[in-house]
Structure 1
Amino acid sequence: MSGWRGLIVPVVLLLLGEAAFRVFGYVGDTLAPPSAIFRGFAEAIGDGTMVTTTLQTFATVLGGTVIGAAFGLVVGCALGFWNLLYRFTYITIECLRPIPSVALLPLSLMIFGFGYKMEIAIVGFATAWPFLILTYSAISQVEPRLLEVAKVFGFGPVGTAWKLVLPAAAPRLMTALRLCIGIALVVAVTSEIVSNPQGLGHELMIAQETLRPHRMLAYLVLVGLIGWGLNNLLLWLQTRMFRHRGEVDTEVAA
């Protein structure tokens, strides 16, 4: 985090944008000056839609991330411990992983219908693969002497994973979680824009269809702020958890 210095560029851009609208006097149905966007925020908060839709999107982001991360963690651990299993499933994983999650919207819609289940399934599919790959990579790079210690103490696969391997791989797993949260937000909003009538994405489309660019841009800015806030929250947690080990992400400032 860069502190107040990180605010310089957005503040300057806001001022330049407001000045450009006032100098050139542009009026249209596609863009709005920053002052109008702030008014859009106030309107959406005042009528309650911004709070409601934000909670809806949060629910799908968190639900899908938990499911995807749990699946990726379990399968990634299994692949990391049993190389033979990795060899048998490599082609299957590499065929499924590149499928765009949005391409599964029609299938998910047919199975679950509109609502949280459909969107959580799509988000879970999208977040499972990065967590699986990074978990497998983290476990593969664990110091071999840790595994020797596990054998000496008589730990089984589950005990070895829980007591030695996962704590050693925790910094990389936190990075995987940060990546998955960003992907989950993108996929959730995209699903709401394309087919699911709830959440920030749907409200953004409603504002666009009703020719209210100031409100549409307010929701667009909110999505960016949510992504920034979630990433910084996880960076803060990573700093507190792993600073003593010298394995803090380089993006974290003092």
Structure 2
Amino acid sequence: MSASTLFKNGWRAALLPVALVVIAQVAATVTQLESDSLASPLDIARAFVSVMADGSLLRATLDTLKAAAIGCVVGVGAGSLLGIVLGLFRIADDALDLTIELLRPIPVVALIPVVMMLLGFGAKMEIVIISLGLLWPSVVLARVAVKEVEPRLMEVSNMLQLGFTDRLVKIVLPAVLPQLFMSLKLAAGYALVVAVTVEITANPLGLGYGIMMAQQALRPAEMFAYLIWIGAIGWLIGVLLNMAQRGFFPAFVKGERR
């Protein structure tokens, strides 16, 4: 994709957000907005500069991103490995299928009280919650990806009498890596959502806690500054992962577009 095309697409995509900001600022100015729950875009921008200048926003961002990254790696890594094993071994798949289907629908937020009783407050509790939230989707996606591997490749591995490690490294992983990366893309955004949710409800750290403190102190401009910043971080993560996908798996990306 050329630079001119990227600029054109980015300009078009920015039209609606810019229009909404302008409309909101005009409405706030005309009505002389004074509220404990709303703020004008100009006030939000001032609040953003303030929390950025005093370092509180950056500290909260680092806390949230660290927990989200570790939880994402652990959850996706463990889930993908388990999914690959289930995809390769029918006996294990049959034995664990009911257990997975019973555990998978449990909302991850419902596990917060349980994990808090075991680990208390802090980063460890948040990482465990994020990991559990990403575990089962990763299991399901990896299991499906392995089952969709070209059957002839698996037949060749059986004929060559490859062991589990050789079959995994030489046959399965090269075939399923694009799908596993797609799983990682989906998990990265979800990890940020879960991290902020845990911080709002249970963990006095990070961006979610910053939102709660701003809300309780009746500082709506600061609260919205945190919210917009979280959206910007999620967008940037998506852009970086899309760039990585185009770099590492260009054929897979072209296949998706077709």
Alignment TM-score > 0.5, same fold? yes
> Which letter maps to 1:149?
V
Provide the aligned length of Structure 1 versus Structure 2: 251
Q: Distance in 2 between matches of 1:36 and 1:26?
A: 11
Residue in 2 that maps onto 1:197:
204
Structure 1 residues 40, 250: CA separation in 2 closer, same or farther (over 3 Å shift)? farther
Q: Specify which of 46, 50, 54 is matched with residue 61 of structure 2.
A: 54
Residue in 1 that maps onto 2:170:
163
Structure 1 residues 241, 20: CA separation in 2 closer, same or farther (over 3 Å shift)? same
Q: Specify which of 36, 47, 67 is matched with residue 43 of structure 2.
A: 36
User: Is the contact made by 1:139 and 1:169 (CA closer than 8 Å) also made in structure 2?
Assistant: yes
Residue in 1 that maps onto 2:91:
84
Q: Distance in 2 between matches of 1:134 and 1:243?
A: 20
Shift of 1:143: 0.5
Aligned-residue RMSD, C-alpha: 1.6
TM-score between both structures, scaled by the size of structure 1: 0.94
Residue in 2 that maps onto 1:135:
142
1:144-190 Cα distance to aligned partner (Å, 9 max, x none): 11112323444212211122211111111111111111111111100
Residue 179 in 1 paired to residue 186 in 2? yes
1:108-153 Cα distance to aligned partner (Å, 9 max, x none): 1111111110000000000111111110011110111111232344
Residue in 2 that maps onto 1:7:
14
Q: Distance in 2 between matches of 1:242 and 1:46?
A: 39
1:43-64 Cα distance to aligned partner (Å, 9 max, x none): 1111100000000000110010
Q: Distance in 2 between matches of 1:31 and 1:245?
A: 44
Residue in 2 that maps onto 1:104:
111
1:169-248 matches, cutoff 5 A: 169-244=176-251, 247=254
Q: Distance in 1 between matches of 2:85 and 2:134?
A: 18
User: Is the contact made by 1:14 and 1:34 (CA closer than 8 Å) also made in structure 2?
Assistant: yes
Structure 1 residues 235, 47: CA separation in 2 closer, same or farther (over 3 Å shift)? same
Q: Distance in 1 between matches of 2:146 and 2:250?
A: 21
Shift of 1:40: 1.2
Residue in 1 that maps onto 2:158:
151
User: Is the contact made by 2:246 and 2:253 (CA closer than 8 Å) also made in structure 1?
Assistant: no
The answer for unaligned runs of 5 or more in structure 2 is 1-5
TM-score between both structures, scaled by the size of structure 2: 0.93
Q: Distance in 2 between matches of 1:48 and 1:90?
A: 47
Q: Distance in 1 between matches of 2:62 and 2:242?
A: 22
User: Is the contact made by 2:149 and 2:172 (CA closer than 8 Å) also made in structure 1?
Assistant: yes
Q: Distance in 1 between matches of 2:165 and 2:254?
A: 25
User: Is the contact made by 2:146 and 2:176 (CA closer than 8 Å) also made in structure 1?
Assistant: yes
User: Is the contact made by 1:72 and 1:132 (CA closer than 8 Å) also made in structure 2?
Assistant: yes
Structure 1 residues 249, 12: CA separation in 2 closer, same or farther (over 3 Å shift)? farther
Residue in 2 that maps onto 1:22:
29
Structure 1 residues 163, 230: CA separation in 2 closer, same or farther (over 3 Å shift)? same
118-127 or 66-75: bigger deviation: 66-75
User: Is the contact made by 2:138 and 2:183 (CA closer than 8 Å) also made in structure 1?
Assistant: yes
1:193-231 Cα distance to aligned partner (Å, 9 max, x none): 001000000011000000110000000011111111111
Q: Secondary structure, in 3 states, of the residue corresponding to 1:118?
A: helix
Residue 45 in 1 paired to residue 52 in 2? yes
Q: Distance in 1 between matches of 2:103 and 2:122?
A: 24
92-101 or 149-158: bigger deviation: 149-158
Q: Specify which of 121, 132, 157 is matched with residue 114 of structure 1.
A: 121
